[in-house]
Amino acid sequence: MLKSFVSTPVSFPHIEKTNLLGLNRQELESFFSDLGEKPFRATQVMKWIHQLNVNDFAQMSNISKALQQRLIETASVDALEVVTDQLSSDGTRKWAFRMADGNCIETVYIPEDDRGTLCISSQVGCALDCSFCSTARQGFSRNLSSAEILAQVWLATRLLNEEQPTAKLSIERKITNLVLMGMGEPLLNYENVVKAIDVFLDDFAYGLSKRRVTVSTAGVVPAMDRLSERHDVQLAISLHATRDDLRNELVPVNKKYPLKELIAACHRFMEKRSPRSRLTIEYVMLAGVNDSEQDAKELIKLMQGLSVLINLIPFNPFENSGYKTSSNNAVRRFQDHLMKANITTVIRKTRGDDIDAACGQLVGKVEDKSRREKRFINPRFGMNS
Ligand code: SAH
C-alpha cells in the first residue's frame, strides 16, 4: 500500500517553505527569531515534531492561533513517501522511502528484547565501491539532506506506532538506538549527518544517549577527527582486512587513507573518549579471503592498545557478488582466537535476510550519477555483473 506523509501542497507558491524537520535547535531558534518570536518557540516546536510525532501546526496547542497560521504559511514538516513496507519473519521491518526527486532509500528497524534499533541511510547510493556490498553496485546519486536523514526516524516512529494506537499525547519510544549503517558513507555527508545527530541527542527532540547513536565509517580519516570534536557518539569502523593490499580491494577508500593512517585516527578518536568506551570494529567474514588464523593474528596485532569490540559479520550474499560466506566453524574459530587475546568479539546475528534487510543488502532506487552499474567488474573474479 502506498501511503504518503508529505504535507499538503504549498498554498502560497511564492513562498519557499522551510522544512522544520531538518533543523537543529540553533537553526530553529534563528528561524523563530526571524519571525520576531522568542527562542523558546524552538523547543516547543521540536517537542511537537520529534517527541509527539506531530506534523500539523494546527495541532500544536500551546502555540497561539496567529503563530500557527504563520507557520502554516512559511514552514512545513515534510517527511518522505512510503513506497514499500516489509516485515521479516524475525520481526525486522524494512521500508523504502521515496524523496521528492524520485530517488528511494531504505531504512531498517531491528527489534530485540532490550532495544529497538533503526538503521538509517545517509546517502542515495554510495560512492565508496566496497567490493562485497550490494549498495555499492547501485552507484551514487547524492547526499541526503539533514531533513531526509531525520525524516527516516520521524516516519519510522509514526509507522511503528500505527500498529498500536497510543494515547494522543504519548508516543511509545520503540526506537532506542540509531545506527548510521544503511545506504551511504555518513562521513562523506558530514555536515548533514552531524546536524541530524544534534537532533538525535537533543533532550527536546529524541534525547538519545550518545552511547545509543553509532556512526559507521569505512575510514574517512579527516572526518573522523572532525566528528570527535563535535559529538561523543559511538564510532564503528568497517575494517574487514588487516593488510593494505587486501583492504584496497575490499574497501577502496583505503587507497586514500591506508591502514596506518586509519589506525592512528582510531587512537586519536579514542584518546578523547572516556576510558570505559570502546570502538566498534566491523569485520565481514568472507570465505577464503580474510577468515584465516593468520588474519586473526594480524587483527590482534593491529588492535593493540585500542579498546575495541569486534563485530564479526557473516557476509550476506547477493547475486554475482563473487564472495562466499565463511562457514560457521571458520567464524567461530576466528572469534576464539580473538577472545583468547582478550578482545571482546561478537558474531553479528543476521537479521531480516528474508526481506534483504541485512548489512550491505540495502539498495533503494538510485539514479546513479557515477555510472558504476554499467562499469562494474568484480576485481577478484573479473566477472561482469
Ligand atoms: N559506509 C558505512 C556504513 C554503511 S555499510 C561503512 O562502510 O561503515 C554498514 C556495514 O555493513 C559496514 O560494516 C559494511 O562493510 C557492511 N556490509 C556491507 N555489505 C555487506 C555484506 N554484503 N555482508 C555483510 N556486511 C556488509
199 Cα to the center of ligand 1, angstroms = 25
Q: Is residue 137 part of a domain?
A: yes
Assess whether 66 and 97 both reside in one domain: no
pLDDT of 165 strictly over 90 = no
Q: Measured from the CB, is residue 216 less than 6 Å from ligand 1?
A: yes
Assess whether 58 and 176 both reside in one domain: no
| Position 3 confidence tier, pLDDT thresholds 50, 70, 90 | very low
260 Cα to the center of ligand 1, angstroms = 21
Assess whether 188 and 232 both reside in one domain: yes
Q: Which atom of ligand 1 is nearest to the CA of 316?
A: 23
Assess whether 70 and 114 both reside in one domain: no
Q: Ligand 1: which residue has its CA nearest to atom 21?
A: 360
Q: Ligand 1: which residue has its CA nearest to atom 17?
A: 360
Q: Is residue 122 part of a domain?
A: yes
Catalytic residue among 106, 148, 249, 282: 106
Q: Measured from the CB, is residue 323 less than 6 Å from ligand 1?
A: no
Give the domain range for residue 66. Answer: 18-76
DSSP string, 108-158: EEEEETTEEEEE---EEE-SS--TT-HHHHT-EEEEPPHHHHHHHHHHHHH
Q: Ligand 1: which residue has its CA nearest to atom 18?
A: 360
Q: Is residue 111 part of a domain?
A: yes
132 Cα to the center of ligand 1, angstroms = 8
Assess whether 71 and 191 both reside in one domain: no
147 Cα to the center of ligand 1, angstroms = 23
Strand segments (E) across the chain: 3-4, 18-19, 75-76, 81-87, 93-98, 104-112, 115-119, 123-125, 140-143, 177-180, 213-217, 234-238, 279-285, 308-314, 344-347
pLDDT of 69 strictly over 80 = yes
Q: Measured from the CB, is residue 279 less than 6 Å from ligand 1?
A: no
Q: Is residue 11 part of a domain?
A: no
Q: Is residue 2 part of a domain?
A: no
Assess whether 30 and 53 both reside in one domain: yes
Q: What is the pLDDT of residues 339-379, one digit of tens each?
A: 999 999 999 988 887 888 777 666 676 777 775 544 333 33
β-pair type (115-119, 177-180): parallel
Q: Which atom of ligand 1 is nearest to the CA of 237?
A: 8
Assess whether 314 and 263 both reside in one domain: yes
Q: Is residue 308 part of a domain?
A: yes
Q: Is residue 186 part of a domain?
A: yes
- Is 106 assigned a catalytic role? yes
pLDDT recorded at residue 7? 41
Choose the final residue of a domain: 76, 97, 112: 76
Q: Measured from the CB, is residue 127 less than 6 Å from ligand 1?
A: no
238 Cα to the center of ligand 1, angstroms = 7
CB 251 within 8 A of CB 221: no
Assess whether 257 and 308 both reside in one domain: yes
Q: What is the pLDDT of residues 147-163, one digit of tens each?
A: 999 999 999 999 998 86
Assess whether 34 and 97 both reside in one domain: no
Total number of domains in the chain: 2
Choose the final residue of a domain: 57, 76, 95: 76
Assess whether 118 and 229 both reside in one domain: yes
Bigger pLDDT: 360 vs 316: 316
pTM beyond 0.85: the answer is yes
Torsion sign over Cα 191, 193, 196, 202: negative
- Is 271 assigned a catalytic role? no
Assess whether 164 and 27 both reside in one domain: no
Assess whether 61 and 89 both reside in one domain: no
| Position 382 confidence tier, pLDDT thresholds 50, 70, 90 | very low
Choose the final residue of a domain: 76, 94, 117: 76
Kindly report the CATH number assigned to the domain that includes residue 281.
Answer: 3.20.20.70
Q: Is residue 12 part of a domain?
A: no
Kindly report the CATH number assigned to the domain that includes residue 58.
Answer: 1.10.150.530
